[in-house]
Structure 1
Amino acid sequence: MSIDLVSAIVSKALDGLFVRQTVTADNIANANSDGFTPARISFEDALRAAASPRHGDEPTRVSERVAGVTPTLDLAAMNRSEGVQLDQEIATASETSARYAMLTGMLDRTLQLQTLAIKGV
C-alpha cells in the first residue's frame, strides 16, 4: 500500500472522527433536554470497504473510493436510543479522542517518511 493511499485513508478517518466528536459533544450538551435523541455517526465500515483492494484495482481507484466516504447518521442506533446516557457519551468522547491522537501520530510518521524519502537523508 502506497504512502499516499495510507495518508488518504488516515485523513478520511480523521474527518469521520472529527464529526463523531462534534456530534458527541452535542449529545452531551443536550443531556438534560427533554425529547432530545442522541445522534450516532458511522463511517468505519464504509471506509474499510472502500480501502479494501478488489481484484484488478489500481491505487487511484482505491483512492477515489476512499475520497467518496462520508460520515453518516446511524439511524438504527438512534432509533434504539433511550435518551442521552451521559456515561456512554463520555466513553465515546474518550475513545474518539484516543483514536484521533493515534491517527494524527500515524499521519505525522507517514509525513516524516515522505520527507525522508525526498531528502534522501
Structure 2
Amino acid sequence: MKFVDSNHSQFLARAMDSYTLRQRVTAGNIANADTPGFNKHRVDFEEELQRVKNSEGARGMKEVTPSIVETDQKIELEDELLEMADTQARVQLVTRSLRHHFEMMKNGITGINR
C-alpha cells in the first residue's frame, strides 16, 4: 500500500538501518582498539544524504545507502564512545519521527486525536 509505505517512512527506515550499521561499526572499532594494524572504520550516511538532497531533492533521499569506509586513523576510545552516544541520540530522533508519522496517519484514518 503506497499510502503507508510513503517516501517519508521509507527514508526513516533507511536512516534507522544506517544508524544500526553505524552502531555495529563503532562497536567493532571499540572491540579492535588494541588490535595491531587495525584502523578505524566509519559509516558515511549524512554526507551522501546531503549530496543527494542537493542534486535530486527529497524523492532521491530514500535511495541513499550507507557505506563503510576504512580510514587511516588509529582508534581513540573516547571518540568512539562519543560516536556511540551521538548515534544513539539520532536513533531516538528517528524513532520519535516514525512514531509521530504513524500517529498522524492513524489520526487521519480514524479521526480520533488522543
Which residue pairs with 2:69 in the alignment? Answer: 74
Between the aligned residues of both structures, percent identity stands at 28
Which residue pairs with 1:118 in the alignment? Answer: 109
Mean Cα deviation higher: 20-29 or 9-18: 9-18
* Unmatched runs of 5 consecutive residues or more in structure 1: none
- Aligned counterpart for 1:34 among listed residues 33, 36, 48: 36
Does residue 100 of structure 2 align to residue 105 of structure 1?
no
- Does the C-alpha gap of structure 1 residues 95 and 36 become closer, same or farther in structure 2, counting only changes over 3 Å? same
- Does the C-alpha gap of structure 1 residues 35 and 98 become closer, same or farther in structure 2, counting only changes over 3 Å? same
- Which runs of structure 2 are paired with 1:10-25 in the superposition (5 Å)? 10-25=12-27
Counterpart AA for 1:68: E
CA RMSD after TM alignment? 2.3
TM (normalized to structure 1)?
A: 0.78
Does residue 80 of structure 2 align to residue 89 of structure 1?
yes
Q: Is the 8 A contact 1:47 1:66 kept in 2?
A: yes
Deviation at 1:68, TM superposition (A): 2.6
Deviation at 1:46, TM superposition (A): 1.8
* Unmatched runs of 5 consecutive residues or more in structure 2: none
Q: Is the 8 A contact 1:8 1:66 kept in 2?
A: no
Counterpart AA for 1:66: M
